[in-house]
Chain A
Amino acid sequence: MEGLHLEYYLVVSAIMFFAGVYGFITRRNLLAVLISIELILNSVDINFALFNRFLFPGQLEGFFFTLFAIGVSACEAAVAIAIIINIYRNIRNIQVKNLQQLKD
């Protein structure tokens, strides 16, 4: 229990965040972009729980923020996948470069 400081965990979540940023910029498939967004959201969730546990261990604010963020990201994934499936039904493709109009 001696060596584990807050910074160790923060480095891990920073690596996860910027892996997500790299994927968000370079991917060209809508589902791959969405997976990168999940990585970013997940790293931020870890940070909320960490700051709560290490700096304010008597309170539960970060805990609940993480809980609600998980719920919101579930919502976001469901609606985004519904939109992507609808796009696939219309243009038979989910590459970003083929998306040029919002309705057919």
Chain B
Amino acid sequence: MNISIQETVFFALAAVIGLFSILTVTTKRLLRSATYLLFVLFATAGIYFQLDYAFLGAVQLTIYAGGIIILYVFSILLTNQQADEKLERLKNSKVLAGAVAAVAGAGITLFLLLAHPFGPSRLASGEVPVKAVGTALMGTSKYQYLLPFEVISILLLACIIGGIMIARKR
């Protein structure tokens, strides 16, 4: 019975993800919910690093953990209603419906993915070089992604303008 360091890291990350993603949706206070979401996103970045996608892990850390969570925390504090967030009382039937939907869906999904033969699946070793990522991002031939890159830059521009237009004071 020898457990490699890779497996130890994976089980630690899996425990963090499972625990905190459930806490995120069950806690009553919104700010705690955002904090638990931050832990889940950190553990996700850890999974990317473990898969040797270091660039993806860095992107996850900077955009999600650094940007989106700050946005959430600011908007939670801006829309803070003192007693209202604890007042989130639901009928038991609604909670039961949500739990049944989640548990039934998880059961079906877990059954299918554990029963499906994925063939030889083995974690490939070796870092993905950032140079290969950059070359694939900046070309127009097959398996190169310049067009989606430009499209998402237009999308980000539209999103900046839309955000300003919607949220400005009138």
**Leading 3 A-B pairs by shortest Cβ distance:** A23-B25, A57-B124, A25-B98
Query: Which bucket holds chain B's interface residue count?
Result: 35 or more
Complexed CA–CA distance, A49 and B106 (Å): 20
What are 11 A-B interface contacts by the 8 Å CB criterion? A16-B17, A19-B24, A31-B30, A31-B79, A32-B33, A39-B37, A42-B44, A63-B56, A67-B59, A78-B163, A81-B163
A35 with B37: CB separation less than 8 A:
yes
- Given known contacts A1-B4, A31-B30, A60-B133, is B123 in contact with A53 (CB within 8 Å)? yes
B25 (CB) vs chain A CBs: closest residue: A23
Query: Which bucket holds chain A's interface residue count?
Result: 35 or more
Select one of A21, A60, A71, A88 contacting B101, CB under 8 A.
Answer: A21
> What distance in Å separates the Cβ of A93 from its nearest Cβ neighbour in chain B?
7
Q: Mark B6-23, 1 if CB is under 8 A from A, else 0.
A: 110010011001100110
A54 with B166: CB separation less than 8 A:
no
> What distance in Å separates the Cβ of A17 from its nearest Cβ neighbour in chain B?
8
A residues within 8 A CB of B68?
38, 73-74, 77
A74 (CB) vs chain B CBs: closest residue: B63
A76 (CB) vs chain B CBs: closest residue: B159
A82 with B162: CB separation less than 8 A:
yes
**Among B98, B103, B121, B122, which residue has the most Cβ atoms of chain A within 10 A?**
B121
Select one of B33, B102, B118, B123 contacting A4, CB under 8 A.
Answer: B123
Q: Mark B46-88, 1 if CB is under 8 A from A, else 0.
A: 0110011100100110011001100110011011010011001
B136 with A60: CB separation less than 8 A:
yes
A19 (CB) vs chain B CBs: closest residue: B21
Complexed CA–CA distance, A64 and B114 (Å): 26
Complexed CA–CA distance, A71 and B59 (Å): 9
> What distance in Å separates the Cβ of A27 from its nearest Cβ neighbour in chain B?
7
A42 with B123: CB separation less than 8 A:
no
A70 with B63: CB separation less than 8 A:
yes
B128 with A63: CB separation less than 8 A:
yes
Complexed CA–CA distance, A85 and B119 (Å): 48
A residues within 8 A CB of B102?
18-19, 21-22, 25
A residues within 8 A CB of B119?
55
